[in-house]
Amino acid sequence: MSAPDLLASGAALVVLGLLVVRTPLGVAALLAFYPFIHEVPRSPVPGLNAQTVLVGVGMLMTLVRTGVRFPPAPVTAPVVAFVLVILMGFCVAEAGFRGFDPDFDTWERIKAVKSRVFTTLVFCMSYWWARDPLERRRILESLSVGLLFCSAFALVGHGLSGSEDRAAGLFGNPNYLGDLLGVFLIVPLYLVRSDRLGPLARSFHAVVYALGFATLLLSLSRGAWLAAFAGHCVWLVYERRQLAVLALVALVLATTLAYPLVPRMVRNRVESTFAQSQRRYHIEGLESFAVESSAGTRLVLYRIGYDVWLASPLWGHGLDTFPYLVATHGARYGMLAGKTSHSLPLKLLVETGLIGIAGFVWTGVVLLWLGRRLARLDVEDFKLGPLLLAVSAGAGVANVFHNDFLLSAISSAYFWAVLGSSAACCYAAEPEPAPESAALAAAALA
């Protein structure tokens, strides 16, 4: 094994030991370690990797020490619905689709399903260990440490991608890195504003925020930039509305009068959005058009996706069928090769139909309800409500342009951690009834 492999393996063993000995601290350590979880060499046993072992042990120890209980139904139901939608998509594909590549067989598809639903266990762990304010802050600080690792590895030049030298960091994909930072940079900003942390801790998280912001720019991910702007606007509306107005004014100035002062690499990336390419597509109702490759691809994918969705509108065509369906339906629009959806809503619509979209909308409604409810509660960490709303807004925007929530384990794990911590804070304000009280209430109803 190489030196990085040995370091990642050693750190994974430390996290494993903490999960067994001191589970709350181990959960926080696991979240901080998550950016490196795929750097640990895979075991010879198929499907048994570092994520499976660490998350599995963490969940097992949580159940042993807190009891076999589910978080409250209002927040658990959409998480369960997400898992069921993924399983439904897998079953639909297995029952009716025969176009998968030979190397993407049933076993490989099962492993893909497992990796996508396994991070939901982070929600359960975060909920049960974040009912104490100290543990909530520890979980959020661990996310900030994880963002620091991601930014540091990208800024030192690890994993540059493409001719533009876009920062990709540990992911090898600049869009994954950009989305992670664009969505979760609100976490260190939240910690900087926390009165419960000392000056040294707040200074640390301020450095994390500054480095993350610089890395976000270097990722040159336009979708991530929009996600960061959306999340910050939501946060500032609750934190200080005057600053939200100033942010909008700054955006207007940056795109008009002050545009020449914007860094050259950012201007080049923005201007490339409106530059025409040699690749040409055809859409009914429009003449043949030529736009920037990435933007043109997305437009055509939505048009193809609509045609494909009409063939199976209720439950879709099955999980991971989108690239193969595009390859067979895209010729009339000038797209001759398979492409990923580049959009989570589009992927869900085509692969899981209206059922999948309904689950997506349901989750959004629950996030809005929980965030607004928490923001109005008279509790110590009521600002977790705006944090949840800001993270949700950023994640929603980012996944309109990408679908990394289903492809990047760290993005989904961090999202479930924020949701679990927010739900724990909200429901901790309403103490659970004692067993005797619950029995008396049941007897009265009977």
48 with 195, same domain: the answer is no
Give CA–CA dist 238/388, Å, rounded.
12
Domain that holds residue 410: 74-260+360-446
The structure tokens listed for 348 are: 């869900």
Q: Is residue 293 part of a domain?
A: no
Q: How many structural domains does the chain have?
A: 2
| Per-residue exposure over 55-93, b if at least 16 CB sit within 10 Å of its own CB, e if not | bebbbebbeeeeeeeebeeebbebbebbbebbebbbebb
Q: How far is CA 75 from CA 69, 78, 198, in A?
A: 13, 6, 32
Q: Is residue 349 part of a domain?
A: no
- Which of the listed residues 68, 94, 110 is the one where a domain comes to its end? 68
Say how many residues make up the chain: 446
- Which of the listed residues 11, 37, 68 is the one where a domain comes to its end? 68
Give CA–CA dist 408/405, Å, rounded.
6
Structure pTM? 0.89
50 with 176, same domain: the answer is no
CB 163 within 8 A of CB 269: no
The structure tokens listed for 395 are: 């994640």
31 with 145, same domain: the answer is no
Q: Is residue 314 part of a domain?
A: no
Q: Using CA atoms in the order 89, 127, 398, 242, what is the torsion angle rounded to 10 degrees?
A: 150
- Name the β-bridge partners of 265: none
Q: Is residue 352 part of a domain?
A: no
Q: Which of helix, strand or coil describes residue 176? A: helix
208 with 244, same domain: the answer is yes
145 with 58, same domain: the answer is no
Alpha-carbon torsion (260, 397, 135, 11), positive or negative: negative
Tens of pLDDT, residue by residue, the chain (446 residues): 666 778 889 999 999 999 999 999 999 999 999 999 888 888 777 768 889 999 999 999 999 998 877 888 899 998 999 999 999 999 999 998 888 988 888 888 998 899 889 999 999 999 999 988 899 999 999 999 999 999 998 888 644 444 357 888 888 888 889 999 999 999 999 999 888 889 999 999 999 999 999 999 888 888 999 999 999 999 988 888 777 777 788 777 877 777 787 778 777 777 776 666 555 666 665 445 554 566 677 788 888 889 899 999 999 999 999 999 988 887 777 776 777 888 999 999 999 999 999 999 999 999 999 999 999 987 778 899 999 999 999 999 999 988 888 878 899 999 999 999 999 999 886 654 444 433 433 443 34
64 with 181, same domain: the answer is no
Give CA–CA dist 30/129, Å, rounded.
13
Give CA–CA dist 157/167, Å, rounded.
7
- Which of the listed residues 68, 93, 125 is the one where a domain comes to its end? 68
165 with 229, same domain: the answer is yes
- Element (DSSP H or E) covering residue 161: strand 160-161
Give CA–CA dist 417/332, Å, rounded.
44
94 with 195, same domain: the answer is yes
56 with 134, same domain: the answer is no
What's phi and psi for 391, nearest 5 deg?
A: -65, -40
Residue 254, amino acid: A
DSSP state, residue 289: B
What's phi and psi for 69, nearest 5 deg?
A: -140, 150
Q: Is residue 324 part of a domain?
A: no
Q: Is residue 378 part of a domain?
A: yes
181 with 51, same domain: the answer is no
Q: Is residue 318 part of a domain?
A: no
145 with 55, same domain: the answer is no
Q: Is residue 6 part of a domain?
A: yes
156 with 177, same domain: the answer is yes
Give CA–CA dist 392/64, Å, rounded.
31
